[in-house]
Amino acid sequence: MKFHGAIEIAAPIRAVWTAVTDPLPLASCVPGVVDMEQVDATTFRGTVVVSLGPMAGRFHFTSQVGDLRPPYAFAVTVQGTDSVTRSAVEVVVRSQLAERQDGWTRLEYEAVATMGGRIAILGEMVFRAAAQALIAEVTRCLRAQLESTPSTPRPTTT
């Protein structure tokens, strides 16, 4: 399953880069994250409590940050396993940042999610709805953390 879109943030590219490439503070923007720790310079692991349709549980995950090209591009691979059904999920996200003339930053992302086990039975519709809600919440949180003028009009997120 693939997701893609763009987020416009009223902040300089370096500030956005710092916020989105440091998983420990970024975790505070992700709903359901209950713990997270750094394993090495690019690897993190933690737990997130998730509800997908009729299934709810804890997903233990490992994330690996790579392909860093500061402050313009990076990739993150997240692999997780549900504690109840042992279903597996892998999400690979590739992001690019571009500084606009007006000082805003455009963050474009493409994510590919692969699921196995009982969670795959729920299907794309349920997973896609949950992913869109997650993206909306992370976007809202990043904007709240980074934008100095909340009344600044912003374009729609795609």
On the question of pLDDT at 156 being above 60, the answer is: no
Distance, CA of 17 to CA of 97 (rounded, Å): 8
**In this predicted structure, what is the pLDDT of residue 137?**
96
Instruction: Indicate the class that CATH gives domain 2-146.
Output: alpha beta
CA angle 128, 111, 2 (to 5 degrees): 50
Q: Which residue has the higher pLDDT, 52 or 142?
A: 142
Distance, CA of 47 to CA of 149 (rounded, Å): 33
On the question of pLDDT at 151 being above 50, the answer is: no
The tens digit of pLDDT for each residue in 121-144 reads: 777 777 888 889 999 999 999 999
Which residues lie across from 66 on neighbouring strands? Answer: 75
Which strands form 33-38's sheet, in the order they lie side by side? 2-9, 105-116, 88-99, 73-82, 55-69, 43-52, 33-38
Instruction: Give the model's confidence band at 117: pLDDT under 50 very low, under 70 low, under 90 confident, else very high.
Output: confident
**In this predicted structure, what is the pLDDT of residue 79?**
97
The tens digit of pLDDT for each residue in 63-83 reads: 999 999 999 999 999 999 988
68 and 148 Cβ atoms separated by less than 8 Å? no
**In this predicted structure, what is the pLDDT of residue 18?**
95
> What pTM was estimated for this model as a whole?
0.86
